[in-house]
């Protein structure tokens, strides 16, 4: 509905003249005296509401212009960025039929920040009765991005036995078919000796060596490829290696620091290729305890800063995991070995073990240990491929959430609308997405290529994010 404020002004002026000219009594004079400030008060309310709405649109337009500009800050010089901001701002204001202008723009390429202000006037309606014809409005906006801020990146790799699962379905099938292996997981323990062949000769000192000789990549191997991609990106984003530090950590029963945050990507690469570092498939941990590990990681990382100096860096956690709270002992200890289902002569299901309910998805509340320290959490879920021929899998992750101890032992709460009949396997990505700081910082990857590209995609997503600071 459109209100004709000019018509109202004429009508009010006419009524006031009639009242003032009325000599029939003191009431007319009293009303005339009182009604003027009343009309001005109402008019001020209407006009300042209009001014507030225009100011809100102006703020939105200026923010949008700066968001667009900050993403181009590495491609243009200061004058070109100023011209771009004016172009984007004018385009937005034209859509609103607005009458306001940019008054000042400051671009700081070194600090990767842009500051700008805009001002204008809004014509009044009823307030013209008091000879107030316009209301001034103004806004200020500032924006910065992490792409050239000081930044610590903490790459955390899940080192549970399940990360020794062959990375692809083809690899799993190869290991299961191989008479010297016989399971998709490289039998969980890389130190187990490989069976001797018929002549009594040892084929390899450990399953790990044997699998490595077959050329089968395990989840951990692919995870390290993903880390290499991130290191390449850091080399490009910080060519003189002065702003971005990289730290490497393994996650199992707790978190272990493999590499203290450093600007040297070459030092990080050396750790990735060294079996003694604990990062490679040569070793694994017996369990994944997110409840204790993420609490320990919080202490390693500390409080995140603003990114304005090396002593006050932004902090990004890149967590690569299959998202399962698990322990080898929970599956094996006290288990009833009576087989209840077989397939081609192999047992694929046993009677329920006493600790199987503890094997569950991560409780995303534990990621709050990091978020409360203002760290940004990005999660790459290396999809836990279903293995229906494994009795341990069938008794744990293939079972339902309601049959788990996710709530009673780990304090988890199911999403509204999610059935308790949902398998624990299918709930993993739901829990991990809640762990991430935002939905766009979560990626689920199944194939080798997806896992390799996933971590760098998350890193790039973070680098291109921006924050309005004023």
Assess whether 81 and 11 both reside in one domain.
Answer: yes
pTM of the shown model = 0.72
What is residue 163's predicted lDDT score, i.e. its pLDDT?
Answer: 84
| Domain enclosing residue 242, as ranges | 151-168+217-468
The tokens of 351 are what?
């009677």
Domain check: are 339 and 420 in the same one? yes
What was the pLDDT predicted at 421? 97
Domain check: are 278 and 398 in the same one? yes
Paired with 319 in beta bridges are: 156, 379
87 assigned to some structural domain: yes
Q: Which residues of 436-470 are buried (b: 16+ CB within 10 A; e: fewer)?
A: bbeeebbbbbeebebbbbbbbbbbeebbebbbeee
How many domains would you assign to the chain?
2
Within this chain, do residues 157 and 299 fall inside the same structural domain, yes or no?
A: yes
Q: Looking at the structure, tell me whether residues 162 and 41 fall in a common domain.
A: no
Mean pLDDT per 10-residue interval, the chain, length 470 residues: 48 56 56 59 68 79 76 74 80 62 71 75 72 78 72 94 81 83 66 64 76 86 94 89 94 95 97 92 87 96 90 95 91 88 90 93 97 96 87 94 96 94 97 95 91 91 70
User: 293 and 163: one domain?
Assistant: yes
What CATH number corresponds to the domain at position 365? 3.40.50.410
Same domain, 305 and 423: yes
* Residue 370: burial class (beta carbons within 10 Å; 0-12, 13-18, 19+): buried
Instruction: Give the integer Cα–Cα distance in Å for 171 and 6.
Output: 79
206 domain-assigned = no
- Within a domain: residue 184? no
Residue 268 CA neighbour count, 13 Å, CB half: 28
365 shares its domain with 405: yes
The pLDDT value recorded for residue 65 is: 77
The answer as to whether 201 is a domain residue is no
Task: List all residues 6 or more positions away from 375 whose beta carbon is below 8 Å from its beta carbon.
Answer: 154, 301, 304, 315, 316, 317
φ, ψ for residue 332 (rounded to 5)? Answer: -100, -35
Residue reference for tokens 């490679």: 280
188 within domain boundaries: no
CB 342 within 8 A of CB 307: no
109 with 163, same domain: the answer is no
pLDDT on residue 34: 58
The predicted pLDDT at position 93 comes to 63
Q: Looking at residue 4, what is its pLDDT?
A: 46
Q: Are residues 256 and 320 in the same domain?
A: yes
Q: What is the pLDDT of residue 100?
A: 66
Query: In the prediction, which pLDDT does 372 show?
Result: 95
Q: Is 292 helix (H, G, I), strand (E, B) or coil?
A: helix
Q: Both 163 and 132 in a single domain?
A: no
């Amino acid at each position: 509905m459109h209100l004709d404020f000019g018509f109202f002004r004429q009508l009010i002026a006419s009524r006031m003249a009639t009242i003032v000219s009325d000599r029939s009594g003191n009431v007319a004079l009293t009303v005339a005296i009182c009604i003027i400030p009343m009309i001005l008060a109402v008019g001020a309310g209407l006009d300042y509401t209009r001014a507030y709405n225009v100011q809100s649109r102006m703020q939105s337009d200026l923010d949008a212009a700066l968001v667009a500009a900050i993403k181009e800050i590495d491609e243009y010089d200061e004058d070109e960025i100023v011209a771009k901001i004016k172009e984007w701002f004018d385009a937005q204001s034209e859509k609103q039929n607005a009458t306001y202008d940019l008054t000042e723009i400051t671009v700081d390429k070194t600090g990767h920040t842009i500051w700008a202000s805009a001002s204008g006037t809004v014509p009044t309606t009823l307030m013209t009765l008091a000879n107030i014809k316009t209301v001034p409005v103004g806004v200020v906006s500032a924006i910065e991005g992490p792409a050239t801020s000081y930044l610590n990146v903490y790459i955390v790799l899940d080192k549970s036995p399940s990360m020794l699962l062959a990375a692809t379905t083809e690899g799993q099938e190869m290991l299961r078919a191989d008479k010297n292996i016989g399971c998709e997981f490289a039998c969980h323990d890389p130190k187990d000796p490989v069976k001797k062949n018929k002549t009594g000769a040892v084929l390899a000192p450990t399953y790990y060596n044997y699998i490595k000789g077959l050329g089968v990549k395990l989840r951990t191997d692919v995870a390290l490829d993903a880390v290499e991609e991130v290191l390449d990106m850091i080399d490009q984003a910080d060519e003189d290696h002065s702003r971005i530090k990289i730290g490497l950590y393994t996650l199992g029963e707790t978190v272990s620091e493999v590499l203290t945050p450093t600007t040297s990507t070459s030092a990080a690469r050396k750790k990735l290729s060294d079996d003694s570092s604990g990062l490679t498939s040569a070793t694994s941990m017996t369990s994944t305890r997110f409840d204790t590990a993420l609490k320990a990681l919080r202490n390693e990382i500390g409080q995140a800063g603003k990114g304005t100096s090396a002593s006050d860096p932004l902090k990004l956690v890149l967590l690569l995991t299959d998202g399962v709270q698990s322990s080898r002992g929970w599956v094996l200890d006290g288990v009833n070995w009576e087989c209840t289902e077989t397939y081609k002569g192999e047992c694929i299901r046993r009677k329920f073990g006493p600790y199987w309910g503890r094997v569950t998805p991560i409780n995303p509340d534990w990621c709050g240990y990091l978020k409360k320290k203002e760290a940004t959490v990005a999660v790459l879920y290396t999809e836990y491929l279903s293995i229906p021929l494994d009795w341990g899998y069938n008794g744990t992750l293939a079972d339902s959430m309601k049959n788990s101890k996710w709530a009673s032992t780990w304090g988890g709460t199911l999403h509204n609308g999610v059935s308790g009949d949902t398998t624990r396997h299918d709930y993993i990505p739901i829990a991990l997405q809640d762990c991430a700081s935002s939905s766009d910082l979560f990626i689920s990857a199944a194939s080798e290529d997806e896992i390799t590209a996933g971590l760098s995609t998350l890193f790039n997503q973070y680098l291109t994010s921006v924050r309005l600071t004023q």
